[in-house]
Amino acid sequence: MKSRLRRFLCKGACRVLPIICLCLCATGRGWSQETYRFAQRDTMALYLDIFRPDSGSVTTLDGVAKPAVMFVFGGGFVSGKRSDGTARRWFARLTAEGYTVVAIDYRLGMKGYRMGKGLLGANKALDRFLYSQQIGVEDVFSAVSFLAAHPELSVPVDNLVVSGSSAGAIISLASAHAIDQGRLEGLPEGFAFKGVMSFAGGIIGKHGAPKFSQATCPILLLHGTADKMVAYKHFGLMRRGIWGSDHIASELEKKGCNYSIWRFEGLGHDVAAYMDMAWELEKTFLERNVIQGIPCQVDALVDDPSLPTWKSWGRARTADLYQNP
């Protein structure tokens, strides 16, 4: 695989290999999970699963505890499960490496929605997307508050990374952005995520492009440059729309934030399913940017035709999920 490193600015000992191995193997083992109801929304109960580090795994790095990783599943706000087979392979890798995993439910705000035609249909759909993002953020905050209220579960909320795929990545990024902008309703006092890992995500807004402060938590972005499901750059009209990883990275760079972006040349929404395969990139981010707190900016273009793709993912477009009536 050829990896073209476009920009690399680090302070301290942070290092990125010029050639990155995306591991394609899965960790197979038996395990158990703990399941808890963390919220009740009208008639819908929301649950979370906790997966503990493997017995004998290393749960610290240089004397610092590894963070717990909260996972928000994808599915276009219409479907998905908190602990499906693909996600569980990734969970197994994380727990083998000494990380606790918390997989959560959230309300599916686009379920049953059908997009109308023309500009009017697009504008109405954007309002529904924004609503779906907002209630997803509310549910993430509820899960955090539940963990904070139950210290006996031994998931320290002061050491928590939020991660997500596709719609889950949108919710994860929007959650961190809300905290960065001081919107902390329902969260423990002083709470902030230790980091964000986004697999093909962005932020939906109607008042212009999202802004971040220099104090935002470390952020890892992975995105296909040809993604038609979740825009890699920006999709929308004027100040309304979704701003993808390309824009977010540009904003983080301008503010001197601690972040990494890996741009997968020519790939579509396939990258939303790269959680397990891109483990080495995630490990570097977790260990360097998050645990060691090394201020680091990485901007890399990955050009590798041998990477796996799936027709249903790579060519997927937003309209495929929300068929016009």
Average pLDDT per consecutive 10 residues, the chain (325 residues; last block may be shorter): 53 41 45 89 94 97 98 95 90 97 96 68 81 97 98 97 98 98 92 98 94 96 96 88 97 96 96 95 97 94 92 67 59
10 Å Cβ neighbour count for 22?
Answer: 20
| CA distance linking residue 212 with residue 245, whole number of Å | 13
Domains and CATH numbers, the chain: 2-321 (3.40.50.1820)
Tell me the two tokens of residue 276: 């397990």
| CA distance linking residue 288 with residue 215, whole number of Å | 17
| CA distance linking residue 150 with residue 105, whole number of Å | 18
| CA distance linking residue 215 with residue 202, whole number of Å | 19
* pLDDT recorded at residue 324: 52
Tell me the two tokens of residue 251: 């904003």
Which residues have CB under 8 Å from 170's CB, separation 6+? Answer: 133, 136, 164, 201, 202, 203, 204, 230, 242
| CA distance linking residue 102 with residue 61, whole number of Å | 20
* DSSP SS3 for 254: helix
| CA distance linking residue 225 with residue 215, whole number of Å | 27
| CA distance linking residue 263 with residue 267, whole number of Å | 9
* pLDDT recorded at residue 123: 72
* pLDDT recorded at residue 21: 43
For the chain, give the number of residues: 325
Tell me the two tokens of residue 289: 């940017």
pTM: 0.90
The one-letter code for the residue type at 234 is: H
* pLDDT recorded at residue 141: 98
| CA distance linking residue 290 with residue 159, whole number of Å | 10
| CA distance linking residue 155 with residue 144, whole number of Å | 10
Task: Compute the chain's Rg from CA coordinates.
Answer: 18
* pLDDT recorded at residue 85: 82
Which residues have CB under 8 Å from 22's CB, separation 6+? Answer: 1, 274, 277, 278, 279, 280, 281, 304, 307
* pLDDT recorded at residue 322: 65
